[in-house]
Chains A and B, each alone.
Chain A
């Protein structure tokens, strides 16, 4: 379906809002437990679906309108208390939410809508509706009494046909006449948009009506008149016309109830989106971040001038510079915060995932989320979703046992997965903990040996065994399922997390469960770095990688076979990497060994030799491949306070580089020997 380009912007807003609405609806649906409806959640659900229906109608997405309409009707009954939400209808509603999402995507990408699926779901919901309010039958007369009390007053019917109303063979006048038959009616008609006579289209319906019906008619009777057209062909709102003074529109009522429940229940506030926001394209924010970075550099340049004593005679200037420094710091922090989003948006998809997977595998799993408000950089957030999906799938599939075997070992048949996010010293930590069987050491080892990853009789520590989990081409599931078990899971997870500058660790206790702990930087744009001098050049070592820095001691350096050097550090022999050689830094004379920086990278610790430690500072990472290309051993560059550039070392890359460099040198020296 082609979208009218004039409405492009409107569509995009609608799509975004509808997607958010669907996510909120999904969350609410999952939180609703059948039988005991939380009115706050039902209201939220109803409102989300209602606005999608409204939008669908406005833009002429008929399928969207059709399905959301029947969903809304069902929810309306739940909301009014005339129906309980059974688990069957809950499932159906979940499927419908999926279907709505598909329809939205189809419209967005201008491809065909899966009409059949939409129709099937609509019919299923209709059949539920037709079957009557099942368990809530006793409640029905009750509501009727309420209605008959009000029916003295009548109904206010907002009847708003869509433009194609008449094209579908409907006659607005006939419907209005039918309403008039129910009782005395006042009719107010209005034109949605005033059109010139020249552009007047006799076949489109540009009118809408507000009918005020007085008399004994019930809501059902009124609704019956419009039953053919409601949703698909028109927007219909029926509000009871109580005392003139006390009349409340549905919308007002919703607001009132929302306020009332809002005050009482604080627990469900996390379901609701933040109060007010504007949508801004990311590149605008990025250029803002860039500019502020520049400002910080300019500011520190000015601060250096100030130190040169020249400006001390002018106190106003000095005060001004002090003020400037404070303001720039604050501005930088604020701007960086713009890119930060709560992790809750990423977590929101997991209840559904666990719900569906659990159902599919016949496992009962309770997913507990906490720390949804922990904020992370948008880029990190976007890239952490998939690794988390992998881990959680693994927990559901491999971690949590089937209910029967859980009961057999005396555990609660309902498994638990805890998903937590929290801040820890400049990092965000995400933990996924399940209370399943834990990693089976023997099985894992046997599998690894079978695949030739380890020696069959190798003596490995528990930690080493768990590291096998992240090895490419390993799957411990006895049967390869479509959920997990293709063996491409955990190694990709690890790589993706490392690409974000994070780290993943795993701990497991047989019979008790498994814990995955992901540590992520708050932002990709800024890191804490240790400035080091190598020759005449300045490099940055990310502080996260540094284990310890110490004065190099000659007697701790041992040369192995004339080539590789090791450094003795706390009883361990670490590979010694002379950064100046690996990065071929030009040096005037062979300087004495300065400092040794013990770093962690590429899954081990190595000792780097640098000339001097300069200072620790926050640096803004600038990528090299914007205008150039990635360079081995470097993760980017940064601009120092004086405007010069310092290169940021990438530990994994540097260590790999060191090894290949040593290897090539070894080959060279062998060649030289051979040729002599």
Chain B
């Protein structure tokens, strides 16, 4: 059986909050590791985290669509952020991977999309003044998906916009490649 961690209010505490007692106006972010870098997504966009899931390949789709998973009877596509961000692919991609399932607004309905991550890291509360606009990040990171940078202590976290991960323009862009 695959490990599933629900993200109700109680289980967030189980994952562990570094900054307890969220201050007023603070946003909570779930962070994960990808190629030594920490990325964050708004915790309200996170539906659940699946540890060690198997992904079924779909033929003839853009290479950054890793495949689909079975989320309790619902088919959910999984995006490989490494490919989408143009990072080097792991030499031998593991069969079982950690997946963060996000809720994404697409048009007037909500879809679910999974992202493959190296490891789920932590949950942080970040106040608005600690969130900076994303600077030009060169070619390594497609900053179209980044909504900003969050500074937590010594660390810098790249914040991702969940809605852009499977939005029409992004996938359209991919198909054109």
- Residue ID in chain B nearest A297 by CB atoms: B73
Contact of A628 with B73 in the complex, beta carbons under 8 Å: no
B73 & A290 in contact (Cβ 8 Å cutoff)? yes
Q: Does B28 contact A (CB under 8 A)?
A: no
Number of A-B residue pairs at CB separation under 8 A: 72
Contact between B74 and A626, CB atoms less than 8 A apart: yes
**B70 contacts the other chain (Cβ, under 8 Å)?**
yes
A50–B2 alpha-carbon span in the complex (Å): 61
With A627-B111, A627-B112, A628-B68 known as contacts, the answer to whether A647 contacts B56 (CB < 8 A) is yes
Given contacts A644-B54, A644-B70, contact A657 B60 (CB under 8 A): yes
How far apart sit A646 and B68, CA to CA, in the bound complex (Å)? 10
Q: How far is the CA of A271 from the CA of B65 in the complex (A)?
A: 53
The reply to whether B68 and A294 form a contact with Cβ atoms under 8 Å apart is: no
**B5 sits at the interface (CB 8 A):** no
B60 and A632 contact, CB distance less than 8 A: yes
Q: Say if the beta carbon of B90 comes within 8 Å of chain A.
A: no
Partner of A637, one of B60, B75, B166: B75
Known contacts A584-B60, A657-B60; decide if A637 and B72 are in contact (CB<8 Å): no
Q: What residues of A have a CB within 8 angstroms of the CB of B69 in the complex?
A: 645
Interface positions, chain B 49-97, Cβ under 8 Å from A, are: 54, 56-61, 65, 68-70, 72-77
Residues of A within 8 A of B74 (CB): 290, 622, 626-627
CB pair B70 A624 closer than 8 Å: no
Q: How far is the CA of A293 from the CA of B57 in the complex (A)?
A: 22
For A317, list chain B residues within 8 Å (CB).
none
Asked if A639 contacts B58 (CB within 8 A), the reply is: no
Known: A583-B60, A647-B56. Contact between A639 and B73, CB under 8 A?
yes
B127 CB within 8 Å of chain A? no
Interface core residue of A291, A628, A643 (most chain B CB under 10 Å)? A628
In the bound complex, how far is the Cα of B75 from the Cα of A626, in angstroms? 8
Do A583 and B59 have beta carbons less than 8 Å apart?
Answer: yes
Asked if A633 and B60 sit within 8 Å, CB to CB, the answer is: yes
Q: Which residues of A contact B158 (CB under 8 A)?
A: none
Q: Mark B2-44, 1 if CB is under 8 A from A, else 0.
A: 0000000000000000000000000000000000000000000
Give Cα A675–Cα B29 distance, bound, in whole angstroms: 53
* A103 in the interface (beta carbon within 8 A): no
For A632, list chain B residues within 8 Å (CB): 60
Distance between B14 CB and nearest chain A CB, rounded to angstroms = 25
Flag if A628 contacts B60 (CB, 8 Å): no
Question: What separation, in Å, do the CA atoms of A481 and B114 have in the docked complex?
Answer: 54
Which of A290, A628, A633 contacts B59 (CB under 8 A)? A633
Q: Given A624-B68, A644-B54, A645-B70, are A631 and B59 also a contact pair (CB < 8 Å)?
A: yes
Specify the chain B residue showing the minimal Cβ separation from A636.
B75
Closest B residue to A292 by CB, please name it: B73
Tell me which residues across on chain A come within 8 A of B76, comparing CB atoms: 627-628
CA gap between A584 and B111 in the complex, in Å: 27
* B171 CB–A CB distance under 8 Å: yes
A623 interfacial by beta-carbon distance below 8 Å? yes
Q: How far is the CA of A453 from the CA of B34 in the complex (A)?
A: 57
- Give the shortest distance, in Å, between B164 (CB) and chain A (any CB): 16
Q: A645-B68, A645-B69, A645-B70 are in contact. Are A628 and B56 (CB under 8 A)?
A: no
Residues of A629-652 at the interface with B, using a CB-CB cut-off of 8 Å, are: 629, 631-634, 636-637, 639, 643-647
Of B54, B58, B77, which is within 8 A of A647 by CB?
B58
Given contacts A290-B73, A637-B56, 17 further A-B contacts (CB under 8 A): A537-B56, A583-B60, A584-B60, A585-B59, A622-B73, A623-B75, A624-B58, A627-B76, A631-B58, A631-B60, A633-B59, A636-B75, A637-B75, A639-B70, A644-B56, A647-B56, A647-B59
Closest 4 CB pairs of A and B: A583-B59, A628-B77, A645-B56, A294-B73
